[in-house]
Amino acid sequence: MKRFIASAMVLSLLVASLAGCANKAQTGAGLGALTGATVGALTSKNKVSGAAIGAGIGLLLGYMVGNEMDKYDKEQINHALETQPSGKPMAWKNPDSGAHYEATPSPAYVQNDKIYRDIYIKANVDGQEKDVKAKAYRGEDGQWVLVQ
């Protein structure tokens, strides 16, 4: 049991260190798997199979929750690119994470036979402000696709 707890601590440190490199869905999946494995191992008679089953369930649920948060913000960015005049910011608050965003699109331009718009995004996540410049092009389905 001590070995399992030590392994769980090492895994949690690894997941926490990689969280900065992952999107919300990936972070949610990692944390969900870790939590599920811990709960499964602690509540099951067979620690190994309990941990495996718990990790699988936690992975799926964590991914689903994290992915929904990403989808909401991507929808708002797509809406800003589609409807906002150049230079006019659009602001929103993610209802799940509480993060605040402001997106300001630039004029459209054509490059490699695609319509592009640059967009400047100001994010306030957990009290930390970040500024991001991204580029998006209009996909074949009419939706804007972020490329950076």
Q: Which one of 69, 103, 120 terminates a domain?
A: 69
Residue 21 lies in a domain: yes
Q: Tell me, yes or no, whether 34 and 62 share the same domain.
A: yes
Q: Characterise 6 by phi-psi region: left (phi > 0), alpha (psi -120 to 50), beta (else).
A: alpha
> Using one digit for the tens of pLDDT, what is the confidence trace for 76-107?
999 999 999 999 999 999 988 888 999 999 99
Note down the domain range covering 129.
86-146
Q: Tell me, yes or no, whether 37 and 6 share the same domain.
A: yes
- The pTM score is 0.55
Higher pLDDT, 13 or 108: 108
Q: Which helix (H) or strand (E) holds 49?
A: helix 47-83
> Using one digit for the tens of pLDDT, what is the confidence trace for 24-77?
556 655 656 666 666 666 666 776 776 777 666 665 555 544 544 478 888 999
Q: Which one of 21, 41, 69 terminates a domain?
A: 69
Residue 141 lies in a domain: yes
Q: Does the structure show a pLDDT above 70 at 17?
A: no
Q: Which helix (H) or strand (E) holds 27?
A: helix 24-43
Coil, helix or strand at residue 13: helix
Q: Tell me, yes or no, whether 109 and 138 share the same domain.
A: yes
